[in-house]
Amino acid sequence: MSLHLELGSAIEHVFPDDIDGPVEHKQDVMIVRLNNGVTLEVRYAAADAYSLRWVYGEAESGIDTAPLHHGLATFPNHFHDAANRIVADPITRPDVPPADNLQRLVRALLDDPMLGIRDIG
């Protein structure tokens, strides 16, 4: 997907000292490894249809736009936190360009890979 190629180039350009090697491109996913131990998997089907999943140690989290959680203020996007809760998405917005959303997420993950969630396990 050319969007993934564009996003990968943007991440390599904006965060050259924060990524652990080049961005990897697979069939339908872009993988970004951050120097702080986060592995981020990026899937963009369209600008407003995405799945952003990351692993940090044993913790797994993600943000996506599957239209399942109508009661959240950020519907359709939502955050699956490391404690297995589904809450309003604190980072992305479907009406924002994908590169902006991804850069905001990478900055947030560099600052705090758990996005403030500590009570897991």
Residue for token digits 């900055």?
A: 107
Band (pLDDT 50/70/90 cuts) for residue 1 is low
Which whole number is the average pLDDT over 74-85? 92
Listed by start position, the domains of the chain span 2-111
At 6 the pLDDT is: 95
Model confidence pTM above 0.75:
yes
The 10s digit of each residue's pLDDT in 87-109 is 999 999 999 999 999 999 999 99
What's the 3-state SS for the chain?
CHHHHHHHHHHHHHCCCCECCCCEECCCCEEEEECCCEEEEEEEEECCEEEEEEEECCEEEEEECCCCCCCCCCCCCEEECCCCCEEECCCCCCCCCHHHHHHHHHHHHHHCCCCCCCCCC
